[in-house]
Amino acid sequence: MSDALITLRDALRSFAAERDWEQFHTPRNLAVALSVEAGELLEHFQWMDEGASTLLSADKRMQIGEEMADVLLYLIRLADKLDVDLVDAARGKLQLNALKYPAEKVRGSSKKYTEY
């Protein structure tokens, strides 16, 4: 795991321990919280057209960044609880996706791998 993720993981462990929240941080609860935060991130883009989603004000970007941080923090906490190395998992998933979506077959297409 990268140094940055280890630092965040350790900070989250301390944060939860200081508040006696360990009892609430079950994998199920963390996955639910992660999903809720992802929904809050998505809410910022609700009813926004494609152009507006790329031309965000500094304030809106800050708000979106805070929601992205919430998603990341819950994901790191969940990975810690399940003993998943996120960097290794992401690298492995990228390799699987490269097999599912060979560049020469899918370049310029948004179709799912089962559709080409």
Summarised one tens digit per residue, pLDDT across range 75-107 is: 999 999 999 999 999 999 999 999 999 998 888
Tally of domains within the chain: 2
Residue 74, classified by CB atoms within 10 Å of its CB into exposed (0-12), middle (13-18) or buried (19+), is buried
Task: Look up the CATH number of the domain holding residue 75.
Answer: 1.10.287.1080
DSSP symbols for 52-111: HHHS--HHHHHHHHHHHHHHHHHHHHHHHHHT--HHHHHHHHHHHHHHHS-HHHHTT---
- The reported pLDDT for the residue numbered 112 is 81
Summarised one tens digit per residue, pLDDT across range 15-73 is: 999 999 999 999 999 999 999 999 999 999 999 999 999 999 999 999 999 999 999 99
CB atoms near residue 30 (< 10 Å): 21
CA 74 to chain centre: 8
Categorize the per-residue pLDDT at 115 as very low, low, confident or very high, splitting at 50, 70 and 90: confident
79 & 90 share domain: no
101 & 77 share domain: no
Could you tell me the residue range of the domain that residue 19 belongs to? 3-83
Between 115 and 72, the higher pLDDT residue = 72
